Amino acid sequence: FQSIGAAGWYPSRRDPELGPCDAFANDSCCLARQDVSGDALTPWDEDLIMTLRGPLQAKQLAVYQPSDEQSWALVSAWDSRTPASAEGIAFRGNGTESAGFDGAIGTECLVDVSTDGVFPCGPGSSPYCPESPDPRHHGWSGSKLFVLLARMPHTDEVAVGTPCSDGPGGNWYDAPWVGLSLGELVRAGAFSSCHCYAKNPDEWWLGDGCGQFNVFEVVNDNNEYANLELFSTNFFGYAGYVGEGPCGASCDVSTLAGDVDLIDKSTLEEAAMGATANPEGGPGAAFRRPTQGYRYFLIHLDVASRSVQLAIVHPEAVPGEIAGLLPGLPAEVSQGTIDALLGLRLPE
């Protein structure tokens, strides 16, 4: 994704006792106008929190950020083999606050992933978030690289975690999702009645505020848009819509080999090379859900180049250009490796 970011504004929640409430106000909600002047990956350069929806089985999760002009440092890490040794990372939702995170997320369950830096919610907090018995956390600001090793088997084929639904009637059933949201949206409660998601909370479906980044989303709305095999990928918010929505029943990939991870939506065959997109259109391709084995999900947000690079990599087919990153996930990665990742156009 290229040319990402735009000037504009979105509503930001404030303490009703302090304000200002110049974007929206009612008896229980105070939103201030948050002006954004630049276009360098805005607002995705702000603190972002990841949300994972099941069915999803994670093995590893790592986050890198620039440490200087020559390298990126591992700032957050979790490994299913040593979950008690996680560093710089916190989990919330689906019972993880008390039981910890074991990597298994059942169908329709949600887990938020953030830094372990505590955000002080309560009176006077800005952006405002109500007091909570469980701590809320900061996300990752600036340029960042997320690496997730996971699989997403179908609910009726492999049991992963404890389901959060009683059957297939829910619109999220058997529909895994990896999403990124502004930290304030998650801390305020993404499903509350007062948040930055839309400029008017009463018209939340417009998503024209801080919006959201559906990085890898399987869509199951129990209608013609449902497709449980392919991801849709899109940004939306005050800057408009970038990317493409669900492929629907017309995208049948059942005859493709199991190692095909990127689909050309015009032919429903394996894409010859990676696709590009910008606010004008694209990408014309869709990632395939890994139901049978694990894949590395790479999400690289680079402020300077205003770009977002996504990739799905088979653990046994790591490109030589990023061997300095995978599978080792070292404490430090060279800027050269990061640049090579940005230049990849997999599968070629």
- Residue 343 per-residue DSSP state: H
What is the pLDDT averaged over residues 28-49?
Answer: 97
Q: With H, G, I as helix, E, B as strand and everything else as coil, classify residue 159.
A: coil
- Specify the range with the lowest mean pLDDT, choosing from 18-32, 114-128, 177-191, 216-230: 216-230
Q: What is the pTM of this model?
A: 0.96
More confident residue, 338 or 249: 338
Mean pLDDT of the chain: 95
How far is the C-alpha of 54 from the C-alpha of 286, rounded, in Å? 19
Q: Is 169 exposed, middle or buried (0-12, 13-18, 19+ CB in 10 A)?
A: exposed
In angstroms, the CA 272 to CA 289 distance is: 18
Task: Report the distance separating Cα 112 and Cα 187, nearest Å.
Answer: 10
Supply the pLDDT for residue 127: 97
Confidence of residue 301 (pLDDT cuts 50, 70, 90): very high
What pLDDT was estimated at residue 68? 92
Sign for the CA dihedral angle at 312, 93, 175, 199 comes to negative
- Report pLDDT for 143: 98
The full set of domain ranges for the chain reads 8-343
- Which tops the pLDDT comparison, 222 or 183? 183
CA distances from 11 to 4, 101, 208, 217, 235 (A): 20, 32, 9, 25, 17
Instruction: Give the pLDDT confidence of 190-235 residue by residue, as tens digits.
Output: 778 999 999 999 999 999 999 999 999 999 987 788 899 999 999 9
pLDDT tens digits, 120-166: 999 999 999 999 899 999 999 999 999 999 999 999 999 999 999 88
Mean pLDDT, residues 7-15: 98
Closest CA to 285 of 308, 260, 263: 263
Order the strands of the 269-270 sheet from edge to edge: 269-270, 262-264, 285-287
Helix or strand run (H / E) with residue 302: strand 295-302
Residue 319 near residue 344, CB atoms below 8 Å = yes
Burial class of residue 284 in the structure, from the number of CB atoms within 10 Å of its CB (0-12 exposed, 13-18 middle, 19+ buried)? middle
Give me the helices (H) in the chain, please. Answer: 96-99, 183-188, 335-343
Buried b (16+ CB within 10 A) or exposed e, 136-158: bbbbbeebbbbbbbbbbbbbeee
For the cut 70, the answer to whether the pLDDT of residue 348 exceeds it is: no
- For residue 177, give the DSSP letter: E
Give the residue from 253, 177, 173, 239 showing the smallest Cα distance to 211.
239
258-295 residue pLDDT tens: 999 999 999 999 999 999 999 999 999 999 999 989 99
